[in-house]
Chain A
Amino acid sequence: MAPNYGTDEWESEYQAMLARRREKEPPYIYFTPEWTALYEKLIQQDAQYKEAAKDWEGSVVLHVEPAPDYGLDIDLYVFMDLWHGDCRSIRLVPPEAGEAGDFVITGSLERWTQVAKKELDSVKGMMQGKLKLKGDLPTIVRSVRAAQRLVDLSAEVGGIFPTEATEEQREEFKKAMQEVAALY
């Protein structure tokens, strides 16, 4: 049985999983724990984000809906703990923790892939209903530049899109998601 999210045990198991998975060299597949770790580091080092988000308080969660055709059998929650320009951590968290985030943006894997590839502007995606926002909209509007920067950085991380993965990569992605689900 998985330890409870938020406990030291959970964090310890998450880190162990991450260490195992990072033994392999990049490029990583988008939304895997190892890709998420690279994303976290990029945000933490980005001066532009720090400045744009200096007043930001609260967690942002990217919720990726299941897409079994691409090896994603679970609801995936990329939980970003953001505070005054700092990215304190990014974790792939259990659904109840993800849904409890301050701002939850939900979309299909295809939509998130379009966002990462800059084929879909995240603001436009929300206006068109392709991405759904849960949370206080005025707060997001006030920090739209910071939000834009987060999206830009997700593209800068680079990696393999699950929607474009080879059979072998898709199996790898599926396996990664099983490991994530094991911590749910």
Chain B
Amino acid sequence: MYGNTGKVLEIDLGSGSIELIELDEETYKKYVGGAGLAAKLLYDRGNLDAEPLDPEALLIFATGPLADSGMYGTSRLSVGARSPLTRIWGQASCGGNFAPELKRCGYDAIIFKGKAAEPVYLLIEGEEAKLMSANDLWGKDVYEVTDILKERHGKQHKTLVIGPASENGVLFGSISNYKAHHFGRAGMGTVMGSKNLKAVVAKGDRRAEIADPDGFKEFWQGTIRPQIEDNIFCNALKAFGTAANMELKMMEGDVPTKNWSIGQWMEGAEKLSGIAMADTIRVNTHSCRGCAVKCKPVVRVDEGPYQVPEGPGPEYETISSFGTMLMNPNLEAVAKANELCNRLGMDTISCGVTIAWAMDCYEAGILKPEDYDGIKLEWGDIDTVLELIPKIAAKEGKLGSLLAKGSRAASEEIGAGSEKFLTDSKGLEAPMHDPRCNWGDGLAYAVSVRGACHVSNLTFLWEWGAIEYPEVGLDMFFQPMSAEHKAFGVAVTTDLGCICNSACWCEFPATSLSLPQWVEAFNKVAGYGYDIETMMAAGTRIWLLQRCLGHIWGATREDDRLGERIMTPVNDGMIAGSVPDMETMLREFYELRGLREDGLPKRETLEKYDLGYLAERLGV
């Protein structure tokens, strides 16, 4: 087997048993790896009746087939489980350096089941895996534990660590790889915490085999590498990080501001952008393993109330979540919020957005200080936010406990009209790209398999004009604030997103390549024997499987929608009056995707993609 090892570790944390599972090549070709493989393993081996935080629920880390190829952006790792935040399929991915190391241990994936009687961590050195006591690590923050594990086992050992928030059951707990890289979304850290699993440590000693080493070397060194290094999008990211175009995007109306209630805040964007960061608190840049794009900022704040030691800085999503969303123009304070969330192990999007929702509730008199620990949540009051973040992580007090559930569950608990301020889909707080600016994003969020998400699909890159793939019909002219062509575009970009997430391939370098080059990468490294059609079919298959897991866990057509606030027009800026035509886009999308009116896939759709087994399960 090439690219992959065909081997998966299954760890029963309850009994302490460690088993080896072997997979056939066909499974990899059909589900690619990463998020696709994790979904397949969960379906095949999980107890689908388990609640997200039950011991018998599975938590699966999976690498992609390109992980040890050295291609830029392929060192990402996926994690999948039933999400405690959304209660449907949950997946997250992060960059960093863990995936190649796991591959070098000889494993493509790790499945965790059960719950350890006491805190533990998994240590994998070469092929040998063992559970170690984590009693001394429990309660400590992510940065501390990462340092301790590196000190204990060696600097070359790679780590995945959860923080106190996940231990405490905050529903948007994250998992961190070497402090700077985070599986932020959908509460995957919370699942890890529920199993008393504090960390995973790996150190490999071999290389994954490549199907066509000479051909790949020529392809990578001679063609792809210079192509990515010359790509203008990657170069902008290299210069200013993921917030490089924040000002332009604010001008267009793409940056959610004041909990999505106003259309433009140029003054804030100018102070918060990647350019402002490069000119002020950024002291260096950092990359995922071996990537030349180096989009991640390293920041340091030496003076003033928001001091941050040199370390990982906030990226675009965090800058907007703790900046524009809260009407906070102070970049140093955003860096502080980012550091707190990193250390405590919480998703910065869900945390910032839930606080923004709470600010609206406070302003509307729904969250009264006298009922919620005396806390006044006023727009722009970042000091109160910085005090609140640790309270959320500790589920301390009435407000901390409420917000630790995420905005959707919190709103369901307090009612009183608070739902009109929600900005989620399926319980996952929407990321920082406004569907009222690019309508396709609205459809993409609504039909995303894990709830509102812009990286489980590549829709935002398509609507920005960063990608154009004529081989799959993605070269049409379209208007951003229009429903025309969007169902088709979202269907195709969703498949592309599923391929990327399953290959564990960062969309930035990946989209510097043409689709024939994607095919060539899979074939030269992993010998998948793809053509564009079979590769795209794998993307559709993965999306259908992950969506069906959602159906098994109760999601219906009614859940394919956006939070009320996103569907409320703003009065200013370029998006004034714009609201995505969800009805038209959804109707066309269902038809294109072979879904029934109730949102479930038709039997023939499932059979077309070799998913007949799901038809039986869903009764379609």
Binding site for B on A (CB under 8 A): 119, 121, 123-128, 133, 137-138, 141-142, 144-145, 148
Contacts and interface: CB of A to CB of B under 8 A. Distances in A.
Given A127-B465, A141-B245, A144-B247, 9 more contacts: A119-B477, A121-B465, A123-B248, A127-B464, A127-B466, A138-B240, A145-B247, A148-B248, A148-B251
Contacts of B117: none
A121 B247 CA distance: 16
Interface in B444-467: 464-467
Contacts of A128: 465-468
Contact of A137 (B239, B275, B467): B239
A163 to B, nearest CB: 15
Nearest to A119: B477
B284 interface: no
B273 to A, nearest CB: 10
B247 A137 contact: no
Contacts of A126: 232
A124 B465 contact: yes
A141 B244 contact: yes
A164 B494 CA distance: 37
B578 to A, nearest CB: 18
Contacts of A142: 275
Contacts of B240: 138, 141
Contacts of B590: none
Contacts of A138: 236, 239-240
Contacts of B465: 121, 123-125, 127-128
Interface residues of B, number: 18
A59 B219 CA distance: 37
Nearest to B480: A121
A144 B251 CA distance: 11
18 contacts: A121-B465, A124-B465, A124-B466, A125-B465, A126-B232, A127-B464, A128-B467, A128-B468, A137-B239, A141-B239, A141-B240, A141-B245, A141-B275, A142-B275, A144-B245, A145-B248, A148-B248, A148-B251
Main secondary structure of the interface of B (DSSP, over half): helix
Nearest to B511: A127
A141 B279 CA distance: 13
B218 to A, nearest CB: 22
Contacts of B468: 128
A144 B232 contact: no
A64 B251 CA distance: 29
A160 to B, nearest CB: 22
A141 B466 contact: no
Nearest to B251: A145
Given A141-B239, A141-B244, A127 B232 contact: yes
B235 interface: yes
Interface string B42-55: 00000000000000
Interface string B195-239: 000000000000000000000000000000000000011011001
A167 to B, nearest CB: 27
B64 to A, nearest CB: 25
A145 B235 CA distance: 18
Nearest to A148: B248
Nearest to B235: A137
Nearest to B247: A145
Contacts of B275: 141-142
B263 to A, nearest CB: 17
Tell which of A138, A141, A144, A148 has the most Cβ of chain B within 10 Å: A141
Contacts of A125: 465
A67 B485 CA distance: 31
Contacts of B247: 144-145
Contact of A133 (B232, B245, B251, B467): B232
A124 B464 contact: yes
A119 B244 CA distance: 24
B236 A141 contact: yes
Interface in B256-276: 275
List 9 tightest A-B contacts by C-beta distance, closest first: A124-B465, A138-B239, A127-B466, A137-B235, A128-B468, A126-B232, A127-B233, A144-B248, A141-B236
A85 B557 CA distance: 53
A163 B382 CA distance: 55
B236 A137 contact: yes
Contacts of A121: 465
Contacts of B233: 127
A141 B276 CA distance: 12
Tell which of B239, B465, B466, B467 has the most Cβ of chain A within 10 Å: B465
A181 B466 CA distance: 35
Contacts of A127: 232-233, 464-466
Nearest to A139: B239
Contacts of B464: 124, 127
A23 to B, nearest CB: 38
Contacts of B244: 141
A152 to B, nearest CB: 12
A74 to B, nearest CB: 26
A128 B275 CA distance: 23
A142 B240 CA distance: 9
Contacts of B235: 137
A169 to B, nearest CB: 25
A129 to B, nearest CB: 8
A133 B230 CA distance: 10
